[in-house]
Amino acid sequence: MFKSTLAYDFERRRSGGFSGIARRAVTLMAVFGAGVAVMGAQTSSQPKPSLNNAVSTWNISSADLFSSSVSQDAETPVTEASVVPTTPNFAEMMQYGGGQRKRYGRPRYRGNNTNADGSNKWIFYGGAGLSQPIGNTWHYLTPSYAFQVGGGRQFSKKFAVPIQFDYDHFGMTAQTLSNQTVVLDAIFGAGSVDGLLDGNSHVWSFSVDPMYTFYSGDKWGAYGVAGVGFFHKTAQFTVPVTNQGGGYGYGYGYGYGYQSNQPIDKYTSNAPGFDAGFGVTYKISRFANERLYAEARYVFVDNSYRPGISVNNLNQITATSTNFFPANSNHTTYIPITFGIRF
């Protein structure tokens, strides 16, 4: 019924214009289009399409026919594309875990002991060298050895604030020993220490010494330093003493002895002071933090002068006189030159 009706309608509209073969081809096309429409009607609630709709259905593109909204099996329900599960990205899940990307913060390449510029937060150093008296101090003290150690906070490659301990040793000039011999002979009796007197002096100190590095290359560096602190100055005079030893042997007595310097007079002075200087550094290795350094400073100790007995006023000696070396309380100035290593 359905086929003859379509053929009749078609022949009524197109009678007399085509040959028998053409009529058969058009009839086959119409039948195929109607079949497609019937298939759509079985899976949809829409009314059965007419001939015109059946023909127009033939013009639907292949992408539309095979989309997820059109079922190709009449017994399979239509499934919308929006509810079809997507294929999981297993490579991403294996990399990040659980299919969720983890957020990572900015990489940190420095520890708690390192500043933002890569320098260590702490600085330590130690060295030894020579202490050279200058100014008025040069008239009664002679050069001798020195050493220093220090450590403290380093805020960047350029700036650090260490606390430093220094020990600077000095000898006595020949004129100082000669004058003091006269003073002590006047106290203990003429000739009591003639040719025997010796002496030395030293200054130890604790100071805060900020450092600023104004040049830093691959190997060489240069810095300035200045600080303030507490200074303790000591002067002492000694005479040699022979210490007798005991006897030993099988029935034979042998005596032995050794000589040492025994202090006979000592003076101290406490005072604030400051220092300032500069130094150069040399990096031992390109990949090491250690640097060798050479440094020179000017040190001024603000001692408070205390009057006393000297070679110029021996007639003022009394039974209560106690200060026989007033030079120890003079202002003290010297230059320590130190060589060491810095960490």
- Structural domains in the chain, CATH included, are 2-96 (no CATH), 122-342 (2.40.160.20)
How many Å apart are CA 314 and CA 270, to the nearest integer? 26
What is each CA distance from 129 to 125, 126, 148, 296, in whole angstroms?
14, 11, 9, 10
More confident residue, 15 or 32: 32
pLDDT > 80? residue 188:
yes
Per residue in 50-105, pLDDT (tens digit) is 445 444 444 444 444 444 444 444 454 544 444 455 555 555 554 444 444 445 54
Phi-psi region of 97 (alpha: psi -120 to 50; beta: other; left: phi over 0): left
More confident residue, 84 or 305: 305
Q: How confident is the model at residue 8 (pLDDT cuts 50, 70, 90)?
A: very low
How many Å apart are CA 220 and CA 91, to the nearest integer? 52
pLDDT on residue 260: 82
| CA torsion through residues 42, 45, 51, 54, sign | negative
Tokens 């599960």 appear where?
Answer: 85
Other Cβ atoms closer than 10 A to 310: 17
pLDDT on residue 10: 44
Tokens 């006897």 appear where?
Answer: 247
| Mean pLDDT in residue range 30-40 | 53
pLDDT on residue 46: 47
Backbone angles phi, psi at 52, to 5 degrees: -60, -40
pLDDT on residue 299: 98
Q: In the chain, where does DSSP find H-type helix? A: 2-14, 20-42, 51-57, 62-65, 90-96, 174-188
DSSP 114: B
pLDDT on residue 25: 57
Cα angle 41, 44, 48; round to 5: 35
Cβ atoms of residues 302 and 269 within 8 Å: no
Cβ atoms of residues 191 and 185 within 8 Å: yes
How many Å apart are CA 164 and CA 278, to the nearest integer? 15
pLDDT > 60? residue 31:
no
Q: Which helix (H) or strand (E) holds 123?
A: strand 122-133
Tokens of 135: 């100014």
pLDDT on residue 119: 84
